[in-house]
Amino acid sequence: MEDTMGDYRIRFLGIIMFTILTAMGLIFSMYLLVNARSLYTYAIAIIFLCLSAVSGVFNIASSYWYYRSYFYDKYIENLSKSLAPLSRFPTVALAMPTFNEDPELVTKNMLALKEMRYQKDKIKYYLLDDSTDESVKNQLKEFSASNGIVYLHRDSRKGFKAGALNNMLKHSKEEFVAIFDYDEMLTNKDFLMETLPYFKDKSVSYVQTEKRYAKGTLFSDTVDLFDAFFFKFIQPARALNNTAIFAGSCGIIRRSAIDEIGGFPEYIIEDTFFSFESDINKYKSLYVPKVYALGKPIKTFSELAKQQWRYNYGDTQFLKYFFTRKKSSKKKLLSPLSQLDYMTHGFGLNYLSSMLLLFTLISVLIVFSTFPVAHITIQNLFVTNNLNIYLELFGVSALLVSILTPVILTKLYFNSAKRGFMIFIVNFALVLIRTKAAISAIFSISPKTRWSRIGARNGGSLIHAVRNSALEIGFSAFLVGLGSVALFIDNFSGGVWLLWYGLLYSSTFFFFYKYG
C-alpha cells in the first residue's frame, strides 16, 4: 500500500535517521575544530560547524513534524465525527483562476466542478481569466456564457493570482470562497458537503484539503511524491499548531475572514502570505488529509523548474515580509512555535538549495585542505590520527546517509525506492535554479522566468537542454575538473567525491534533455 503512516515503529526509524544525520555533522564539526592547526583548517571547521548547526535545526524540525503528523489522523477523525451535517447551505463562490491555459482542459475541469453535490442556487461559479491570447479569451468567454459561469477578465496581471481573486471579491458577495486550479479534476463531488461543516467553529478561516497529481510517468510520479511529503507529514504537524498552510487551491475560505485580512496579499505565492495573515488575525485553520481533486501531472522538467522558481522566489519574499511584519508590529503576533513553523517554511527550499550548494563548495576546500592526502588501509583505519582519513570517512558516511534517508522513507511510505533516489537527484538538479530565484527575490528582480519551450513532446532537444542548464553545465565541469586534479595527485576518495558532485549537478542537463 502507498501509505503506512499508522506504523509507529517505521516512523520511529525515520526519526533515528534524521538524528543520525544531525549528529554526524555536529560531531565531525567538533572533530575539525579540535584538530585544526592552521588558519585555513580553522576556517573550514567553523564554516562546517555553522552549516551543520543550521542543518541540525532543520533535521530536528523535520523529525518533529514527522513525529507529530502521526497523531493528526486520529485528531481529524475525532473532530469530523463531532460535526453535525449542514443544517443550512451557505452561499459559495467557486473560483478558477487561469492564464493562457488550454481552453479544453479549463472547460473540462470547470464542468466537472459544476457537478459538485450542493444546493445549486447556493453556489456561483467564477472563471477568473487573465489570458492575453485573444483566441483563449474568446473561447473561455463563450464557454462561460453558455454554462452560467461568471467570466471576469483583467487586462493587467497585477498581483498575479491574488490580484485575480481580489478582483473577483469586488463582484461577489458569497459567504465562502472555494478555489480550484484550472488543471485540477474533481474526483470527489462531496467537497463542499464535507468541508463546510468545519466552519461551524466561527474562528476557522479556511479548510485546506490534500493536493495530489494524477498518475503519469516515473518523473511526474516522483514530482507528486515530492509534494506528498509536505501534505503527508508537514501539513498535519502544522495543523496541530494551527499553522496549516493554505495551498492556493482545493481549499475553501470564509469570506468575512478574507475581508478582515484585507483581501489576498498580492505576492507570487499569495497562499502562504494569506495563511500568515490569517494566523496573525487569530483565526484557526484546518487541514483535511483527503484528496478531492487531482492536478495534471507535471510531465516536463521545464514545468517543474518554473514551479520551483516561483515557490522559492515567493518563499524568499515571504521571509522578508515575515521579519518586517514582526519588527513593525507593536503587539505579539504569533507564538514562538508558530513563528518557527513559518520561518522553517520560508527557509525550506532556500535551505535545500543553499545547504547542498554550500556543502558542495566546502567539500572542495576539504579535498584540497592538505597534500598529500593519506591513503586509507585496513591496517590504519582504526589507529590513525590523520585528519584527512577522518575527513574522507565522515564525508562518505554523511553522503551515504543523505542518499539513504529519502530512499528509505519513500520505500517505507510510498513503496518506491526508485522514486526516492530520483527525489534525491532532482533536488541537486534544482539547486542553482532555486538559488537564482532567491537572489532575484532578494534584489526585487522580476519573478518571471523564460524557459525555452522547444523540443519534442516526450523530451527536449539538445539546444533546449544546453540553453536552460548552461550554469549547471559550467559548475559541473568545474567540479569534474577539480575531481580529476584530485585523482591526478593520488587523492582517490577526494576525486571520487567531487566527481560524484559534478555528476549530480549535471543532472539538470539530463532532466531538461530527457523530459523537456
- Residue 6's pLDDT is what? 44
Q: 190-199, 295-304, 407-416: which range is least confident on average?
A: 407-416
Q: 381 phi and psi, to 5 degrees?
A: -60, -40
Average pLDDT, stretch 446-472? 67
- Residue 11's pLDDT is what? 67
More confident residue, 54 or 266: 266
Q: 55-64, 101-110, 452-461, 504-513: which range is least confident on average?
A: 452-461
What is the C-alpha to C-alpha distance for residues 329 and 355, in angstroms, rounded to an integer?
31
Which amino acid makes up residue 134? Answer: E
When the candidates are 3.90.550.10, 3.40.50.300, 3.40.1080.10, 3.40.50.2030, the CATH number that belongs to 84-299 is: 3.90.550.10
Q: Whole-model pTM?
A: 0.85
Is the separation of the CB atoms in 214 and 296 below 8 Å? Answer: yes
What is the C-alpha to C-alpha distance for residues 78 and 71, in angstroms, rounded to an integer?
11
Cα 38 to chain centroid, rounded = 40
Of residues 380, 379, 183, 208, the one with CA closest to residue 285: 208
- Residue 3's pLDDT is what? 44
The domain locations on the chain are 8-69+348-515, 84-299
What is the C-alpha to C-alpha distance for residues 477 and 20, in angstroms, rounded to an integer?
32
Residue 5 has pLDDT above 60, yes or no: no
More confident residue, 492 or 284: 284
Pairing relation of β-strands 150-153 and 123-129? parallel
More confident residue, 472 or 335: 472
The partner residues of 209 in beta bridges, in order of sequence, read 288
Residue 205 has pLDDT above 90, yes or no: yes
Tens of pLDDT, residue by residue over 31-61, are 777 767 778 778 888 888 888 888 777 777 7
Instruction: Scan for cell 485573444, then name that residue.
Output: 134
Is the separation of the CB atoms in 252 and 178 below 8 Å? Answer: yes
What is the C-alpha to C-alpha distance for residues 165 and 177, in angstroms, rounded to an integer?
10
Tens of pLDDT, residue by residue over 299-328, are 899 999 988 998 999 999 998 888 888 766
Strands of the sheet containing 284-295, edge to edge, are 150-153, 123-129, 92-98, 176-179, 251-254, 204-213, 284-295, 184-186
Tens of pLDDT, residue by residue over 129-150, are 999 999 999 999 999 999 999 9
Average pLDDT, stretch 154-174? 93
What is the C-alpha to C-alpha distance for residues 444 and 459, in angstroms, rounded to an integer?
33
Instruction: Scan for cell 584538530, then name that residue.
Output: 35
Tens of pLDDT, residue by residue over 372-390, are 334 444 444 455 555 556 5
